[in-house]
């Protein structure tokens, strides 16, 4: 069966894979599924700085309006701005047009429900069914019921900036920070947010041209920021991805703090203040061994979800937890946002520095660090799911897991959409875990490759 959604909405090469026709149908289906009973349905639409976002925005809005819903345009805003403004504007849902951390030729659609959360599996399945298998069920509305396009581009970013300032609730006077905007949405918000909080802000990669989003910058290319922080004696650096729902931090020594290390700092601080509900944070199966050991040593409980921000959120909602995140820098503060918010995470991290009087390197120094090796193996589509039944593969993985014991782990999982097996090995001995990952990858390739 064909799939429209991966771990975070439809995504692909813009106009080629994620076509304007597909975007229009997705807008039409999302508006139909999120439609309110009685009254006019209103869907907010935000976008990132990719050149393709304008065309996809037009297509999405055409789909929304064609089934009688209004499309409210927010312009270029971070993904968490869409999530926040759904509630602030009493909308019925939202669509963010963004390829996230990917390069400019990719784009995607992130769909939110009326609560400001990513749509859950039931709604996702229905949108997918309508688009792929039952487009005839989405009847165009009559002319008199046609939806309208409402323009809120002039105020949306400012509303979001005010929200982050209020949620951060801190004075960062005296701090020097460097901010990498990834030539994405944060280019329109980050300087204003951190300057308003009182910090001396040095902004990098804040000149998007439609083609340079995430290019050698942002949360997946951190080297420039690491060097800048040290050279300019900054207290910390913050790197966002294209739609600013991720944050990767850099301490004053130029060392990287991924999402796991930040989550450890947030969890301990919130627990000390009595703000960590049930003393629990939500992580994924890919979260590091160092985070797990640190949590155990500090009386913090961890609950695991599937890989992907949507699954972290689902687990948080199910258990009534307020903090969750992923190694890639998605951090969710559920009381303040229904999705990851990179700029809020950065401000909260600095707030902890301010309150504790500690440098960022000191806040993270007792979090154990274990090397990780990650490899991807392309398999034949025929072997999707079936590779798990290959006895020689499972026995090899089990033998390595037994060898590592409590001092390491092996994770092998299949990609949500592509015929790819992802391998992660973690442990104290980098050379050994690298050998393990390579051997598993080679074995899967031999048994399950496209040539089989």
User: Mind telling me the catalytic residues?
Assistant: 100
Return the axis-axis angle of helices 342-356 and 259-272, rounded to nearest 10°: 50
Rounded to an integer, what distance in angstroms lies between the CA atom of residue 446 and that of residue 241?
35
Beta bridge partner(s), residue 97: 47, 109
Beta strands 42-47 and 93-97 are parallel
421 backbone dihedrals φ, ψ, rounded to 5°: -105, 125
Contact residues for 104 (Cβ-Cβ < 8 A; gap 6+): 50, 51, 52, 210, 211, 212, 213, 214, 215
CB neighbourhood size of 342 (10 A) = 31
Rounded to an integer, what distance in angstroms lies between the CA atom of residue 244 and that of residue 189?
10
430, containing H or E segment: helix 430-448
Counting Cα atoms < 13 Å in the Cβ hemisphere of 67 gives 26
Rounded to an integer, what distance in angstroms lies between the CA atom of residue 176 and that of residue 235?
5
Instruction: Give the CA-trace dihedral at 35, 164, 348, 340, to 10 degrees.
Output: 30
b/e 183-217 (16+ beta carbons within 10 angstroms → b): bbbbbbbbbbbbeebebebbbbbbebeeebbbeeb
Rounded to an integer, what distance in angstroms lies between the CA atom of residue 183 and that of residue 50?
9
């Amino acid at each position: 069966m064909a799939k429209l959604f991966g771990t975070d909405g439809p995504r692909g090469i813009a106009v080629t894979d994620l076509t304007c026709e597909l975007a229009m149908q997705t807008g039409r289906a999302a508006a139909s599924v999120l439609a309110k009973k009685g009254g006019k349905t209103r869907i907010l639409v935000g976008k990132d700085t990719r050149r393709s976002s304008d065309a996809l925005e037009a297509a999405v809005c055409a789909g929304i309006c064609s089934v009688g819903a209004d499309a409210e345009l927010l312009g270029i805003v971070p993904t968490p701005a869409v999530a926040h403004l759904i509630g602030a504007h009493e909308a019925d849902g939202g669509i963010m047009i963004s390829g996230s951390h990917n390069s400019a030729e990719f784009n995607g659609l992130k769909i939110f429900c009326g609560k400001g959360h990513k749509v859950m599996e039931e709604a996702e399945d229905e949108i997918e069914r309508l688009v792929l298998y039952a487009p005839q069920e989405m009847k165009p509305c009559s002319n008199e019921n046609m939806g309208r396009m409402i323009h809120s581009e002039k105020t949306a970013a400012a509303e979001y900036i005010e929200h982050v300032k209020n949620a951060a609730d801190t004075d960062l006077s005296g701090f020097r920070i460097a901010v990498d905007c990834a030539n994405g949405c944060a280019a329109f918000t980050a300087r204003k947010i951190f300057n308003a909080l009182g910090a001396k802000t040095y902004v990098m990669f804040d000149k998007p041209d439609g083609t340079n989003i995430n290019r050698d910058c942002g949360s997946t290319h951190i080297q420039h920021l690491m060097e800048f922080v040290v050279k300019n004696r900054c207290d910390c650096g913050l790197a966002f991805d294209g739609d600013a729902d991720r944050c990767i931090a850099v301490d004053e020594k130029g060392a990287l703090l991924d999402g796991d290390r930040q989550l450890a700092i947030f969890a301990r601080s919130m627990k000390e203040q009595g703000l960590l509900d049930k003393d629990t944070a939500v992580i994924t199966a890919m979260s590091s061994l160092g985070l797990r050991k640190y949590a155990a040593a500090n009386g913090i409980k961890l609950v695991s979800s599937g890989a992907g921000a949507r699954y972290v959120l689902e687990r948080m909602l199910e258990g009534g937890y307020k903090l969750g995140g992923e190694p890639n820098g998605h951090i969710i503060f559920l009381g303040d946002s229904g999705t990851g918010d990179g700029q809020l995470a950065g401000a909260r991290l600095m707030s902890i520095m301010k309150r504790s009087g500690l440098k960022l390197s000191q806040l993270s120094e007792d979090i154990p660090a274990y090397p990780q090796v990650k490899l991807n193996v392309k398999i034949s589509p025929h072997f999707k799911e079936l590779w798990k039944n290959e006895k020689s593969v499972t026995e090899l993985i089990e033998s390595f897991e037994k060898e590592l014991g409590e001092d390491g782990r092996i994770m092998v999982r299949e990609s949500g959409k592509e015929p790819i097996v992802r391998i992660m090995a973690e442990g104290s001995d980098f050379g050994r875990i690298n050998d393990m990952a390579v051997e598993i990858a080679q074995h899967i390739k031999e048994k399950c490759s496209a040539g089989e």
